């Protein structure tokens, strides 16, 4: 039976299902029904109290394709995880099914990534950023003296296989992570991903590093125990000199370092 035939029945037992996959691979299912539903091997929980009235959809291109609201639950979506940013950028699918036969009707209503997440008392609100958000991107990038690519992406093309390493953290104090044996400056503007402990799965930006450790842009959300493992990824400051001397990747440099800037207007003869 097709989706149109199912929805055309005199009586439908419909329920909304939300599938949320975090960037660290953790996946949960939530449903508007009053009991759990199992579809394609994933249990969609009724505990968070998702309701159809919590969804707002539209046809505009303002990026707010849909909002989802629900209750904070310690073992599903907790306040601590929201504040730590674990749900930022998570992949989200919203589907419609029949609770009498879960999965027989599995109609995709919307999909995208979770954008802004806010807490409201004992509940949360998550914005779904769908495909319409791509229309807001510029057709052509603005010129800049720095490289606009990210190290290792499709524009940069630097092989990152040898530029990642798993390290053992000895201590953390005010955003300074003690990790001996690092090449000074190699991980500046890079990332650190926690592989264990209370921060497991959280990715943090690295400001700078020396031979004995590195400085994070923000302190870890949760306490870090000595011996915790983390994945360090090298970074790049976007300068042409770095691209040439450290990576030998000038043909893929995505910037215009020799293009005159606004400071040309302030120059005068003899300056």
CATH number of the domain bearing residue 167: 2.40.30
> What's the pLDDT score for residue 69?
65
**Same domain flag for 127 and 7:** yes
Tell me, yes or no, whether 221 lies in a domain: yes
Average pLDDT over the chain, rounded to whole?
Answer: 83
Q: 70: domain range?
A: 3-133
Question: Within a domain: residue 270?
Answer: no
Is residue 60 domain-shared with residue 112, that is, in the same domain?
yes
Instruction: Tell which wins on pLDDT, 217 or 117.
Output: 217
In terms of Cβ atoms closer than 10 Å to its own Cβ (0-12, 13-18, 19+), residue 135 is exposed
3-state SS assignment for residue 235:
coil
Q: Same domain for 71 and 32?
A: yes
Q: What is the pLDDT of residues 142-187, one digit of tens each?
A: 888 999 999 999 999 999 999 999 999 999 998 899 999 999 999 9
In this prediction the pTM is 0.71
DSSP state of 105: B
The reply to whether 101 and 171 lie within a common domain is no
pLDDT at 78 over 80: no
- Which residues are CB-neighbours of 154 under 8 A, at least 6 positions away? none
Rama region for 65: left / alpha / beta (φ>0; ψ in -120 to 50; rest):
alpha
Query: Does residue 104 belong to any structural domain of this protein?
Result: yes
């Amino acid at each position: 039976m097709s989706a149109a035939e199912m929805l055309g029945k005199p009586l439908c037992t419909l329920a909304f299902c939300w599938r949320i996959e975090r960037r660290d691979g953790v996946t949960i299912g939530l449903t508007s029904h009053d009991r759990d539903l199992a579809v394609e091997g994933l249990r969609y929980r009724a505990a968070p109290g998702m309701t159809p009235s919590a969804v707002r959809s539209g046809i505009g291109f303002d990026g707010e394709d849909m909002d989802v609201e629900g209750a904070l639950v310690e073992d599903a979506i907790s306040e601590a995880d929201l504040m730590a940013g674990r749900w930022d950028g998570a992949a989200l699918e919203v589907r419609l099914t029949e609770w009498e036969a879960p999965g027989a009707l599995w109609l995709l209503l919307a999909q995208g990534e979770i954008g802004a997440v806010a807490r409201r008392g004992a509940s949360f609100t998550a914005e779904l950023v769908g495909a319409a958000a791509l229309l807001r991107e510029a057709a052509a990038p603005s010129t800049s003296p720095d490289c606009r690519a990210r190290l290792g992406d499709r524009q940069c093309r630097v092989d990152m296989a040898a530029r990642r390493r798993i390290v053992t953290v000895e201590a953390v104090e005010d955003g300074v992570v003690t990790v001996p044996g690092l090449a000074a400056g190699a991980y500046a503007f890079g990332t650190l991903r926690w592989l264990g402990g209370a921060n497991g799965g959280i990715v943090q930006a690295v400001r700078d590093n020396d031979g004995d450790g590195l400085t994070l842009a923000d302190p870890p959300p949760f306490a870090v125990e000595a011996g915790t493992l983390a994945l360090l990824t090298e970074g790049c400051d976007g300068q042409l000199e770095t691209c040439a001397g450290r990576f030998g990747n000038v043909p893929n440099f995505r910037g215009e370092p020799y293009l005159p800037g606004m400071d040309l207007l302030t120059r005068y003869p003899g300056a």
